[in-house]
A and B are shown apart, each in its own frame.
Chain A
Amino acid sequence: NAGVTQTPKFRILKIGQSMTLQCTQDMNHNYMYWYRQDPGMGLKLIYYSVGAGITDKGEVPNGYNVSRSTTEDFPLRLELAAPSQTSVYFCASSYVGISTKNIQYFGAGTRLSVL
């Protein structure tokens, strides 16, 4: 019952460092998503993918990059980390077809601090 798995769970970065947040799903979902959640706020979409090889920007893509080489994996890359990227990051996946019932299933989140 793995579902959506994110690593690491916690990370502290120094300003200017880079890192990759890993996300894997085992539900054969076509869509995958990356969100950030700032304290006391809702989730904001960073990037999403509709299938292997296809990605698109969400509401807050600046400072991030993604790739999707397989159905299962959707890593998020932070280049030149800044304090404004301190947040909790969630990966999610869903099966999207004709219906609007595209329930997204979330990973446990990665808590990132940039100091």
Chain B
Amino acid sequence: AQKITQTQPGMFVQEKEAVTLDCTYDTSDPSYGLFWYKQPSSGEMIFLIYQGSYDQQNATEGRYSLNFQKARKSANLVISASQLGDSAMYFCAYSGSARQLTFGSGTQLTVLP
């Protein structure tokens, strides 16, 4: 079974600085996708970014980028120029041959003014 690990229960970052949220996975699927979602205190789940296992380049979406290291089985989220509104819970998720999402336990990010 696939396993997603987020080892940072909580992170702090100063406003306008960059922050990296860690995510590692374990799989034997030849083809898979990795996703990051944001869950603000209001509770909704917001899709941020996707990386396919065969994508040649790291994914980017505005201030979000995904540092994908396939050999290390890691898919870290990098948020540049942090804003107060980035304070939220962030979840890494994996999708393989079963086309289901397996979520990590999440990282609570707090942006300090």
Contacts and interface: CB of A to CB of B under 8 A. Distances in A.
Count chain A CB atoms within 10 A of each CB in B43, B91, B101 and give the residue with the most: B101
Nearest to A90: B45
A106 B104 CA distance: 17
Contacts of A92: 45
Interface residues of B, number: 22
Nearest to A9: B43
Nearest to B43: A109
B43 A105 contact: no
Interface string A69-102: 0000000000000000000101010001001111
Interface string A38-61: 001111110010000000001000
Interface string B92-113: 0001100111111110000000
B91 A43 contact: yes
Instruction: Give the bracket for the number of chain A residues in contact with chain B.
Output: 20 to 34
A96 B99 contact: yes
Contact of B50 (A43, A101, A105, A108): A101
B31 interface: yes
A96 B50 CA distance: 14
B97 to A, nearest CB: 9
A100 B106 contact: no
B47 interface: yes
A65 interface: no
Interface of B: 31-33, 35, 43-45, 47, 50, 52-53, 91, 95-96, 99-106
Interface of A: 31, 33, 40-45, 48, 58, 88, 90, 92, 96, 99-106, 108-109, 111
